[in-house]
C-alpha cells in the first residue's frame, strides 16, 4: 500500500470511480446570464484524474456545466458521470438539461430535460442524483416545508422518481417509506449491493423539538440488491425488497452511516435525552455489536471506528484522545487532544497536528500514521484539511489544496 499526495484546487470535490480513476469537480466563479441575474448554482469543471499516471483530463471543457445537484455513485465501479447544462427559456424559467458522459467511450448525450423557475432553487428546493448503475438513476428533490405549528421550516418533503437513460422513461415511486422520509444515503458494498438509509435525522436542526409525531418520518437502514431495487421501482411495488438492519420512529433517530472494513457504523439516538447506542454491524456475518453511551450526543467526544478489523471508540478527554478497543476492553493508544483526526482508512490514521513553537507563529502539519505500531509514514506542513480516500489498489490518496 502506497500513500499518494494529489494536488487539487480549492472548492474541489473528489469522487472515487474505479481503481485508478477519480472524478474531480472544481467550482468556478458564479456565472451570470444575459439578464445579469446570478444562477444559484456554481459553474464547474469536470476532470478525470488518473492515479497511475498522475495526469488529469478535462471532460468537455467547452461545455458549461453547473452543479445543480449532489451526486451519489452507487456502483463499486462507476461507468457514467452526470452534469447539468442550463439555458434560459424566459427568465426566470430555465431549461435544465442533464447529460451523461461515458468514461470508456467518451460519448456524451442528453438523457433528461425539464423546465422550472430558477428562483425556486435559491432556497426552496435541493436536488440529489443517485446513480444506481450505467442505465438508471434516482432523482430526489428535497422541498423546504413548514411544520404544523409554523415555527420551523426544513427539507422534510421529497419528490423522487426513477429514470431509464436508454429509453428516456420516468417511473414514479410508490413506496411511501421513500416518499415520506427520502433517501439519506446509499453506500456501495459489493457489485450489486448497497446499504441504504431512509428518513431524515431528528437531531439535526433540533427537529425533534419542532415536529410532532405525525409529522416525522420513519427511519430505516438496510441492504438492497440494486437490480432488484430497480425492478421493484419499475413495477411500482408498494414496498421494495430490503434486508432490514434497523428501523426507528420519533422517540429514536438514526445518525449517518459509515462503512469501515466489513462494518457499517451508525448510532441510534434518543430524541429525549440525546443518549445513544453506537452500532457496529458486520454486514457479511450479520453480527451486531452495540455500545451504550449515556452522555449527551456529541460527535466530537466519541468517534466509532474500525482498526485492525476490530471496533474501537476514540474518546476525547481533557488532555488526550484515547483509542478504546471494545472487544479487548482496553485503551490501546493515546494522542494529544489538540491533534485533529482527519480520517481513518485501512489502518491509516490521518492527523492534522498543531505545533506552537516558542516566539513563533503556530504551525500545522499533516501527519499519517500506520496503526497499530504508530509508525509515522508521512509528514508535511499545511494549513488546509485534506480529503482522503482509498482507491481500488488499497493506496491511500490524500487530496491537498494548493500543493
> How many angstroms separate the Cα of 398 from the Cα of each of 22, 24, 44?
12, 13, 22
377: closest CA among 355, 396, 362, 364? 396
Report how far residue 113's alpha carbon sits from residue 131's, in angstroms, rounded to the nearest whole number: 17
Tell me the DSSP string of 198-261: ES--SSGGGGGGT--TTTS--EEEEEEEHHHHHHHHHTT-SS---EEEEEE-SSEEE---EEET
Question: Which H/E stretch holds residue 6?
Answer: strand 3-8
- pLDDT by position in tens, the chain (length 403): 678 888 888 889 999 998 889 999 999 865 544 444 568 899 999 999 998 898 999 999 999 999 999 999 999 899 999 999 999 888 889 999 999 999 999 999 999 999 999 999 988 999 999 999 999 999 999 999 999 999 999 999 999 999 999 999 999 999 999 999 999 999 999 999 999 999 999 999 999 999 999 999 999 999 999 999 999 999 999 999 999 999 999 999 999 999 999 999 999 999 999 999 999 999 999 999 999 988 777 777 899 999 989 999 999 888 899 999 999 999 999 988 888 899 998 888 999 988 777 777 888 889 999 887 888 988 888 888 889 988 876 788 999 886 4
Rounded to whole angstroms, the Cα distance separating 241 from 230 reads 10
Cα distance between residue 265 and residue 185, in whole Å: 13
Angle, vertex CA 169, rays to CA 69 and CA 64, nearest 5: 35
pLDDT of residue 268: 97
**What is the bridge-based pairing of β-strands 43-50 and 21-27?**
antiparallel
- Read off φ and ψ for residue 120, nearest 5 degrees: -65, -20
3-state SS, residue 37:
coil
> What CA–CA distance (Å, rounded) separates 131 from 100?
10
Contact assessment for residue 267 and residue 257, using Cβ atoms and an 8 Å cutoff: no
Q: What are phi and psi of 228, to 5 degrees?
A: -65, -40
Q: What is the pTM of this model?
A: 0.93
Pairing mode of beta strands 387-390, 252-254: unpaired
Distance CA 90, CA 350 (A): 50
Asked if omega into 372 is within 30° of 0 (cis), the reply is: yes
Which residues are paired to 24 by β-bridges? 14, 47
Amino acid at each position: 500500500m502506497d500513500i499518494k499526495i494529489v494536488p487539487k484546487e480549492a472548492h474541489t470535490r473528489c469522487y472515487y470511480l474505479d481503481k485508478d480513476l477519480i472524478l474531480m469537480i472544481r467550482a468556478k466563479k458564479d456565472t451570470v446570464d444575459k439578464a445579469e441575474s446570478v444562477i444559484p448554482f456554481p459553474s464547474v469543471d469536470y476532470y478525470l484524474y488518473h492515479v497511475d499516471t498522475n495526469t488529469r483530463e478535462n471532460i468537455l471543457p467547452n461545455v458549461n456545466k453547473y452543479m445543480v445537484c449532489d451526486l451519489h455513485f452507487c456502483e463499486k465501479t462507476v461507468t457514467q458521470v452526470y452534469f447539468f447544462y442550463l439555458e434560459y427559456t424566459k427568465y426566470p424559467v430555465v431549461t435544465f438539461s442533464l447529460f451523461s458522459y461515458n468514461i470508456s467511450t467518451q460519448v456524451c448525450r442528453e438523457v433528461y430535460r425539464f423546465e422550472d423557475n430558477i428562483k425556486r432553487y435559491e432556497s426552496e428546493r435541493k436536488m440529489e442524483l443517485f446513480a444506481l448503475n450505467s442505465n438508471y438513476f434516482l432523482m430526489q428533490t428535497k422541498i423546504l416545508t413548514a411544520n404544523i405549528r409554523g415555527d420551523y421550516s426544513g427539507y422534510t418533503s421529497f419528490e423522487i422518481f426513477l429514470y431509464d437513460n436508454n429509453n428516456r422513461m420516468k417511473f414514479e415511486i410508490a413506496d411511501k417509506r421513500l416518499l415520506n422520509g427520502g433517501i439519506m444515503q446509499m453506500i456501495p458494498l459489493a457489485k450489486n449491493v448497497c446499504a441504504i438509509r431512509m428518513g431524515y435525522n431528528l437531531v439535526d436542526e433540533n427537529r425533534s423539538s419542532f415536529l410532532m409525531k405525525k409529522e416525522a418520518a420513519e427511519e430505516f437502514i438496510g441492504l438492497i440488491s440494486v437490480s432488484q431495487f430497480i425492478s421493484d421501482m419499475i413495477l411500482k411495488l408498494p414496498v421494495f425488497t430490503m434486508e432490514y438492519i434497523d428501523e426507528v420512529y420519533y422517540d429514536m433517530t438514526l445518525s449517518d452511516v459509515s462503512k469501515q472494513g466489513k462494518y457499517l457504523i451508525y448510532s441510534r439516538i434518543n430524541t429525549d435525552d440525546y443518549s445513544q447506542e453506537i452500532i457496529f454491524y458486520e454486514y457479511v456475518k450479520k453480527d451486531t455489536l452495540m455500545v451504550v453511551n449515556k452522555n449527551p450526543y456529541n460527535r466530537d467526544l466519541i468517534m466509532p471506528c474500525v482498526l485492525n478489523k476490530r471496533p474501537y471508540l476514540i474518546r476525547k478527554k481533557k488532555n488526550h484522545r484515547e483509542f478504546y478497543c471494545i472487544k479487548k476492553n482496553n485503551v490501546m493508544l493515546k494522542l494529544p487532544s489538540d491533534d485533529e483526526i482527519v480520517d481513518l482508512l485501512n489502518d491509516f490514521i490521518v492527523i492534522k497536528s498543531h505545533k506552537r513553537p516558542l516566539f513563533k507563529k503556530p504551525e500545522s502539519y499533516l501527519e499519517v500514521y500506520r496503526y497499530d505500531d504508530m509508525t509515522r509514514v508521512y509528514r508535511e506542513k499545511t494549513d488546509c484539511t485534506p480529503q482522503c480516500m482509498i482507491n481500488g489498489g488499497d493506496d491511500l490518496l490524500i487530496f491537498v489544496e494548493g500543493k
